[in-house]
Amino acid sequence: MASSPSTHNCLGWAARDPSGVLSPYNFSRRVVGSDDVSLDIAYCGICYADVIWTRNEGGTSKYPLVPGHEIVGIVKEVGSNVIQRFKVGDPVGVGAYVNSCRECKNCNEYLEIECSKGAVPTFDGIDADGILTKGGYSTYIVVHQRYCYKIPENYPLASAAPLLCAGITVYTPMMRHNMNQPGKSLGVIGLGGLGHLAVKFGKALGLKVTVFSTSISKKEEALNLLGADNFVISSDQQQMMALSKSFDFLINTASGDIPFDLYLSLLKTAGVLALVGFPKQVKFSPGSLSFGMKSIAGSITGGTQLTQEMLEFCASHKIYPEIEIVPIQYVNEALERLINKDIKYRFVIDIGSSLKTDG
């Protein structure tokens, strides 16, 4: 049933300026419409996007800014058109965007993130009603049902949160480039929040997985905790050159600059290097692509249909992100630790237990 036409008080944590410091903030959510789902937020993952936007590193942040786009919670109210898909009490997730035109070719093909009119981000975007979107560092959220996901039965809610950005960000290019065929070779560049999930997905798909990292300290976890088949120190030229023409697919999850020519030399004929991280520049010799028919591809997050598929895939293969659960009161420290790469491998805020409406 739809709610009465009154506003509801929501408590969140917001940044007020480019310092990025978060503190409690009261605001209103929209009334539940006929196609909306309202969910009490249980957990919200911390993504590096939260750092970028709270600190206005892109120059477009609008304050007060409530971050968070890896949201998991329990349905507390549904609109009149929603009863066939979600019901009160269901565990649901919300990812990096909460609206799109739902009419263009990309939306019709469930590539809503590539909506021709622009997908509306979960926070710091302008929704169809003209209101600034506010994210999951808050007690509840109201979202159109299309952009909500069913969390599979018995899948831990805290573990589901990072899948809604980090997980789908690596799953999407892997599926797009047919890396769901056992026996293929996958190289994962960088072993952080995204990279560790790429390793887990690769192993579940039956791929031969190699991790590339600049840090030898990550070797043991890459091989023993995550199950990678091989670990390579990317600064070791001899190790790198020994793998020439070895990989069907490389996924770069790192945001630091990498030697693109060297990595492209590791690809087999018609191999693909996918970028999901954001290095400052992409620089390579044209011959590194032309000889061997190789490609560099970009990707960000994924469409609604593929996101639901990924959640089901993780549940059926018992894939769980490596997480550290923290209270909302620790969020500023967590963001600093994320900047300093002091996390294995994803923070998740326990919103339900630590963020109370009484402040």
Q: Check residue 347 and give its pLDDT.
A: 98
pLDDT digits (tens, 9 = 90+) for 8-59: 589 999 999 999 999 999 999 999 999 999 999 999 999 999 999 999 999 9
Tell me, what's the pLDDT at 70? 98
Tell me how far CA of residue 43 lies from CA of 138, 157, 205, in angstroms: 10, 7, 28
Instruction: Locate 54 and state its tokens.
Output: 């709270």
Two tokens, residue 250: 């490389």
Q: In this structure, are 216 and 159 located in the same domain?
A: no
Is 160 in the same domain as 228? no
- Give the start-end residues of each E strand in 46-128: 71-78, 91-94, 97-99, 120-121
Position of tokens 């300290």?
217
Q: What are phi and psi of 33, to 5 degrees?
A: -90, 180
Side chain identity, residue 192: G
> Does 159 lie in the same domain as 176?
no
Q: Which domain holds residue 174?
A: 167-298
How confident is residue 219, by pLDDT bands cut at 50, 70 and 90?
very high
Q: How many structural domains is the chain composed of?
A: 2
The answer on 157 and 95 residing in a single domain is yes
Same domain for 183 and 267, yes or no, is yes
Q: Cα dihedral sign for 284, 290, 294, 298?
A: positive
| Residue 296: per-residue pLDDT | 95
The secondary structure element, H or E, covering residue 101 is none
User: Of all residues in the chain, what percent carry a pLDDT higher than 90?
Assistant: 90
Averaged pLDDT, 255-282: 92
Tell me: cis bond preceding 63? Omega within 30 of 0 counts: no
**CATH code, domain carrying 24:** 3.90.180.10
Mean pLDDT, residues 124-153 taken together: 96
The answer to whether residue 315 sits within a structural domain is: no
CATH assignment at residue 195: 3.40.50.720
* 308 assigned to some structural domain: no
Dihedral sign, Cα of residue 359, residue 151, residue 253, residue 123: negative
Q: What is the average pLDDT score of the chain?
A: 94
Looking at residue 27, what is its pLDDT?
95
Q: Helix, strand or coil for residue 75?
A: strand
Strands 36-45 and 140-144: antiparallel
Is 216 a domain residue?
Answer: yes
* pLDDT exceeds cutoff 60 at 304: yes
130 and 174 inside one domain:
no
Confidence of residue 279 (pLDDT cuts 50, 70, 90): confident
CB 65 within 8 A of CB 49: no
pLDDT band at 7; cut points 50, 70, 90: low
Per residue in 150-205, pLDDT (tens digit) is 999 999 999 999 999 999 999 999 999 999 999 999 999 999 999 999 999 999 99
Question: How many Å apart are CA 346 and CA 15, to the nearest integer?
Answer: 21
pLDDT above 80 for 83: no
